[in-house]
Structure 1
Amino acid sequence: MTTMAIRLRGIPDTEASIGWAGGHSVVVDRPEGKAGGMGLGFNGGQLLGLAIGGCFCNDLYYVAHEMGIALTHVAVDVRVTFDGDPLRATDATVEIAVESADKEARLDELIRKAKETSTVSNSIARGIPVSVASRL
C-alpha cells in the first residue's frame, strides 16, 4: 500500500491556496471575480482533469517502457463535464494520440494496457470514499 500526503494552505493577502506534495507545488484558486477568486491558479475541476490526464500520460510511458516501445509523441486531452446542484463531475472523456518511430509498435495494445492500469481514472470510475475531519 502507498499513501501520499498532500498539503494546502491559504496564500496571505489572497483567497487562493498553494498545494504541495514533496517538492512540487500548484496554486489553486477560483476564476477572477468568482467568490473572491483572483484567477491565480487552477480550480478544482481543472485539477481533476489534470489528475486524470497526467496519470494517463505517466501510465502510457510506464507501459511503453514495459513493452519496449520508444514513444516519439504523446498527446492526451481530457474533457470533464459537471452538472447538478451541488455541482459534481458527471463524465470524463480522454482522447489519446501516441506515436512511435517503430511502425510495428503495438500502440493499440499500449493504450489498452495504460487504460487498465491508470490509477486515477480507475479510482474515480470505481468511486472512493472521501472522509472530512475538522481540526478546529
Structure 2
Amino acid sequence: MTVELRNIAGTEAALGWAGAHTLVVDRAEGKAGGQGLGFNGGQLLALAIGGCFCNDLRYVAHARGITLRGIAVKVTLELAGEPLLATAATMSVECDLPEGAARNALIAEAERISTVSNSLRAGLPVRIVTAP
C-alpha cells in the first residue's frame, strides 16, 4: 500500500491521496506557516487508529452475520516530549447491536485483528530515504 503527498500551490499545506481518495494535511493556523486547512499529523494518527478499528468492527460483524446499526469511536492521543511524540492512545467504543449480540466479544475480536493498533503496539519501524 502506498500513499502520496504533494504541496498545494499557494499554501504550505499538502494534499495526500491513495487511489481516488484525498485529504489535506496542514498545521494549525499561525503555526509554522500553517493555515489550518487540514488535519495535522497527530490528528491523522488518531484517525488512523479509530478509522481502522471502525472497519475492523464491521469486518467482525459481517463475519458473524451481525447487523451493526451504529458505531461511535473516540480516540484520545496523548502527546509529550521534545520532539513531540505520541505516548499513548485511548479509544472509547460504542456500538449499536441487535438484542443478544455479544458486544464485548465483537469489540475484543476487532481489537485482536486491528492492523493500525497492532502495528503501533509492535513498534512499526519507519525508514526515511531520499527520493532519486
1:93 to 90, 94, 101: 90
Deviations 1:35-66 (A, max 9, x none): 00000000000000000000000000000001
Structure 1 segments of 4+ aligned residues over 6 angstroms from their partners: none
* Residue 51 of structure 1 pairs with residue 53 of structure 2: no
Q: Secondary structure at the match of 2:125?
A: coil
* Residue 132 of structure 1 pairs with residue 128 of structure 2: yes
Q: Secondary structure at the match of 1:71?
A: coil
Q: Please report the RMSD computed on the Cα atoms of aligned residues, expressed in angstroms.
A: 0.8
Partner Cα distance (1:73, 1:95) in 2: 14
Partner Cα distance (1:19, 1:110) in 2: 32
User: In the alignment, what sits opposite 1:27?
Assistant: 24
Q: Secondary structure at the match of 2:53?
A: helix
> Residue type of the partner of 1:109?
A
User: Where do 1:70-81 residues align within 5 Å?
Assistant: 70-81=67-78
Structure 1: unaligned runs, 5 residues or longer: none
Partner Cα distance (1:67, 1:95) in 2: 22
1:36 to 33, 38, 43: 33
Q: Number of paired residues?
A: 132
